[in-house]
Structure formats: structure tokens, C-alpha cells
Structure 1
Amino acid sequence: MGHDISGFNKAGKEIAYARFSMGNYNAHILYSLLDADQYNGGVSGIGGTAAFSVKQMEKALDTYNQLFGKPDSPSGNNNLHGDQKQILNFIQNCLATAKKEEKVRVCFC
């Protein structure tokens, strides 16, 4: 059991991936940042898929930056631990795809 969260472009290619064990609270942070708590089955994702717009991904990144600070700013935390970095990379990759293709598809398994 665990949370495997993947982002896909329109062609179906995986462009982002985050993996959390079933007891790892950081999975809940990513669900919350994406406003996708309904896809969280507790010990794993429910297997659902959702499409996210540029605006939704920008909101997720803004909220992330409020929680953890912008990693590239003087006030930000440049020493992100593994899960914080994993969450940031996931959001940034999904945002980049959404900007190119208007949306990104995310699967919560």
C-alpha cells in the first residue's frame, strides 16, 4: 500500500511522479495542495484521475511556496528534505505541462 501519484500529458506520457508510503503524512500535503482530498483513500489513492488547469497548478505552487518558502529566494528553504522536493518537482512538472497543453491529467493510485 502507498500513494503513487502520476501526472500525464495529452499524449499519455508520464511527466511527473510522486510516491509516498501509506503512513507518510506528506502524501496528504500533496492532495491538499492540489485540492484533491477526494482522491485520497487513506492508505493509498482511490485510483481516480483528474484534469488540472494552469490556474489550479499555479494555485498549488503558490500555496506550496507559502508553506515552505520559495526554494530560490533568500527567505526560502534551499535545504528541502526529500518529500518537500518531491512535491515541488511534481507541481512544477505538472504546471509546465499545463502551460504547454492547457491542462495536465493526474492519476491518484
Structure 2
Amino acid sequence: MGHDISGYNKAGEEIAYARFSMGNYNAIILYDLLDANQFYAGVSGCGDSSTFSIKQIEKALNDYNQFFSNDNSQAESYSETWDQKQIQNFILNCLVAARKEGSVKVFFG
């Protein structure tokens, strides 16, 4: 089990992907940033999807920047920095697609 979160363009092509093991608390950060906690099912996503507008993804990126700029921990572990980069890349890839097509679909598995 784990969290497999995928972003799709309107052609149904996967344009973003983030993977968290079932015990990785960093998954919750991505759900929070997307304001998608209703899709969080504990050890994995609920298996449903939602469409996000440009404005929603831009807000997620803004919230990401604020959240991580306030995290001045010098003792970050490799997994934390890996997950931080994974979350950033996911949001940025979704933003590119949303700006191009008006929205992006995200699946929470």
C-alpha cells in the first residue's frame, strides 16, 4: 500500500506523479497543499480523482513556497528533501498542464 498520486492532461496522459509509502507522513503535505484531504484514506489515496483549476494549482504552489520557506531545519533527512522536491515537481508539472489546458485532473491512489 502507498500513495500514488498522478496528474493527467486532457488527453489522459500522465504529466505528474508522486509516490509515498503508506507510512510516509509527507504524503499529507501534498494532500493539504491541494486542499484534497477528502481523498486521503490513511495508507493510500481513496482511488478517486478531481479536476483542479489553474487558480487551485497556483494556490498550491504559493502555499508550498510559504510552507517550505518557513522550514529552516538544518537537520533535514534525505527522505524529507526527496519528498519536498517530489511535491514541488508534482505541483509545477500540474501547473504547466493547467496553464496550457485550463485545468488538470489528479488521481489519488
Q: Please give the TM-score of this superposition, normalised by the length of structure 1.
A: 0.89
Percent sequence identity over aligned pairs: 68
| RMSD over equivalenced CA pairs, Å | 0.8
**Larger fraction in helix:** 2
Amino acid at match of 2:62: D
Alignment correspondent of 1:73: none
Q: Please give the TM-score of this superposition, normalised by the length of structure 2.
A: 0.89
Distance 1:93 1:22 in 2: 23
Distance 1:64 1:40 in 2: 18
Which runs of structure 1 show a deviation greater than 4 angstroms over 4 or more consecutive aligned residues?
Answer: none
**Is the partner of 1:105 in helix, strand or coil?**
strand
Instruction: Please list every run of 5 or more consecutive structure 1 residues that lacks an aligned counterpart in the other structure.
Output: 70-79
Alignment correspondent of 1:54: 54
After TM superposition, the structure 1 = structure 2 runs for residues 65-104 of structure 1, keeping only pairs within 5 Å, are 65-69=65-69, 81-104=81-104
Instruction: Please list every run of 5 or more consecutive structure 2 residues that lacks an aligned counterpart in the other structure.
Output: 70-79
Shift of 1:33: 0.2
Shift of 1:22: 0.4
Alignment correspondent of 1:31: 31
Matched, 1:4 2:4: yes
- Give the number of aligned pairs: 99
Amino acid at match of 2:60: A
Q: List per-residue Cα deviations over 1:9-59 (Å, max 9, x = no partner).
A: 000000000000001011000000000000000000000100000000000
**Is the partner of 2:42 in helix, strand or coil?**
coil
Distance 2:81 2:31 in 1: 18
Shift of 1:99: 0.2
Alignment correspondent of 1:77: none
